[in-house]
Structures are given as structure tokens and as C-alpha cells.
Amino acid sequence: MKDKNFITLGIESSCDETSAAVLREGRDVLSNVIASQIKVHQVFGGVVPEIASRHHLDNINTVIDSALSEAGITLKDVDLIGVTYGPGLVGALLIGLATAKSMAFALKKPLVGVHHIQGHICANYIEHKDLKPPFLALVVSGGHTNIIDVTDYNHYEVLGRTRDDAAGEAFDKVARVLGLGYPGGPLIDEAAKKGNAHAVEFKRVFLEKDSLDFSFSGIKTGVLNYLNTQRLKGEEVSVNDTAASFQLAVMEVIVAKAVMAAERMKKDKIVLAGGVAANSLLRKMLKEACDRKGFELYYPSPILCTDNAAMIGCAAYYKYQAGMEDDYYLDAYPNLAI
């Protein structure tokens, strides 16, 4: 297998998923094992960094072993090790990074550090075998909301970013105040399907005219104020209506800005990525907007939207193809810029 196919081992541990994946020729996923810690953090209503690190440490070797055996290979078949080195929780990142570095050293294999957000974008190369840059990427996750001009496999220019909360973070916080639980994104998505999205008119925050930046902290406060006002008035709150109205307000802004960016950059391909890319309304609204404008829309299947090591392996492959390689001084950067 090794002679004919280039094998990448990807490792991801930036937040609460410990993941390892094996890829053939960068895009062909032979295994993608994800150990989720959702249940561990659920009782706290969010990710507890120290607990996340400890669980990564407990899980990482088993996850890597499972990824190798599921792919039907052994360590000697691996040609490249790719690992997330930022952004993320520093303690969590360090577990994946230390593991990847020691494996690369012991096996004498090349090591490539991957930016987590670039990994999210690369999930689309796995899903859509013909997809090639240039395109406009919309990355919406628990930690980020970015509009990125992707001019080549390793060239990314950020056109817009959130100035406060990320979209996923806003979903998680609003879900908490609505009593829906954690992680909030999928729960709001579900609740919204049963609600009236025009029941409450939450303010859409577009910032300055022509700005491609986002701000979601205002709408989060808007939901809180609405709930408090209703309670003070003794009026009942419909969780489903509030969830649907909040979701529509967020997605209207995201879709409008993505389309504005594509038009401005003269891009006819929009690539959606990140955990919130699994949102059913976002997919529907963006598809409709792209159809109206004659743009092509790409997004990964839900398992590749969430944090996973296959996307990291794919990004590492393209960096390595371009001659990029890291040494054992590679460190974890919690606020790594794109």
C-alpha cells in the first residue's frame, strides 16, 4: 500500500473531540475515529478546559490505534503526520501535539502542523473530490465566524471575522438560557423546526455598511432581555418560537455577508465549513441565495463539519505537497491567526 499511496495520519485535539484519521492521497479517508467528550462536559453546560486535556490524554493512544487498525495499516505505513497546533484550548492542543511530535521523531516521519480553521475548510476537499481553489470560504464554528478568500490550497486571506462571540458560541449560550442544554447548536436547530421564526423580531446586526465582520453578542443579550421582559410581564415564552426567531436573525446576517463577499471578490463558489455548517436553516438559506446568484455551494456531511482528524490530515497533505514541514519545536498556539 505504501508504495502506491501516500498515507497521512491526522491528529486533532483542539477542543473536546479526540480524533485520529488515516487518509490515502490526502482526500481518501480510510478511517476517521472521533472520541467525543460531550457527555463529560454536558453536566457543566460547556467545555471545561482542564477536564478536556485529561480526557485527551486518556483517549489519544486508543483513538490512534483504532484509526490505524480500521484503515488496515500499521505505523510503518504512515508517510506523514499532521496535527492541529492552534487555535484551541492550549492544554488540549498540547496533548495532540506532543503525541504527534513523539511519533514523528520515533518513526522518522515528516510532521506538519495544521491551523484548525484551515482544516475545517479542507473537510470540503474530502467530501467533494473535484473541488479546487479558488473559492470563498464561510467558516462558522463554536470558536470562529470567518469569511475567507481561499486563492490556493495554502493561501488564505481573512475578509471578515466576528468582533465578539462566534456564531456557535451564541447558539450555545442562547440554548443555555432557553434551558435546552449543551451543545446548543443542534438543539436550537431542532427546536426551531417546531417554532415560528417570525414570532420575535431580534435585531439583525450588520455593523458598518459594507463590513464583512460579524457581531453576535448583541443578539445573545437581545434574547436574554426578551426572556426577562416576558417573565416580568408574566407572559409565557415559547422556547421553539424564540429558538426559531434567534436562528433566523443570525442566519440572515451570515448569508447576506457571505453573498456580499462572494460578489465583491468575484467568486462563484462558496464553501461552508465548521460545526455550525451542520445547521439545517443555514444550509437551506445559503443554497437558495447561491441558486439566485448562480453560485455553486459546497458543504461537508455532518460528521466532517464537526471537529475531526480527517480534515486535519487533508490540510497537512496539501501543506506537505507544497514543501511545508515543521520541526520538533512546533508549539501550541491558542490564538493562532490564519
Site for ligand KG4 in 15-34 (CB under 6 A): 15
Residue of 171, 214, 226, 299 interacting with ligand KG4 (CB under 6 A)? 171
Please identify, using beta-carbon distances, which residue of 216 and 226 lies nearer to Zn ion.
216
Q: What is the DSSP letter of 61?
A: H
Gap between the Cα atoms of 273 and 300, Å rounded: 7
Residue of 278, 314, 316, 332 interacting with ligand KG4 (CB under 6 A)? 278
Q: How far is the CB of 269 from ligand KG4 (least distance, A)?
A: 21
| Rounded (5°) CA angle 288-291-294 | 150
Is 195 one of the binding residues for ligand KG4 (CB under 6 A)? no
Q: How far is the CB of 1 from ligand KG4 (least distance, A)?
A: 31
Helices (H) then strands (E): counts for the chain: 11, 10
Is 241 one of the binding residues for ligand KG4 (CB under 6 A)? no
Which 3 state secondary structure label does DSSP give 292?
Answer: helix
Q: How far is the CB of 144 from ligand KG4 (least distance, A)?
A: 7
Residue of 110, 133, 143, 300 interacting with ligand KG4 (CB under 6 A)? 143
Is 119 one of the binding residues for ligand KG4 (CB under 6 A)? no
Indicate if the alpha-carbon torsion angle 325, 331, 332, 333 is positive or negative.
Answer: negative
Residue of 82, 168, 195, 222 interacting with ligand KG4 (CB under 6 A)? 168
Q: Which CA distances in Å does 15 have to 88, 124, 305, 310, 326?
A: 6, 21, 14, 15, 22
Which 3 state secondary structure label does DSSP give 80?
Answer: strand
| Rounded (5°) CA angle 139-140-144 | 90
Q: Which CA distances in Å does 91 have to 86, 120, 201, 338?
A: 11, 21, 40, 20
Residue 26 touches which of ligand KG4, Zn ion, none (Cβ within 5-8 Å per kind): none
Please identify, using beta-carbon distances, which residue of 84 and 99 lies nearer to ligand KG4.
84
Residues within the interface to Zn ion (CB under 5 A): 141, 307
Q: For the window 285-314, what string marks contact with ligand KG4 as x by the rule CB under 6 A?
A: ---------------------xx-------
Q: What DSSP assignment string belongs to 226-264?
A: HHHHHHHTT----HHHHHHHHHHHHHHHHHHHHHHHHHH
Q: How far is the CB of 37 from Zn ion (least distance, A)?
A: 14
Where do contacts with ligand KG4 occur on this chain (CB under 6 A)? 15, 141-143, 168, 171-172, 183-186, 189, 274-276, 278-279, 306-307
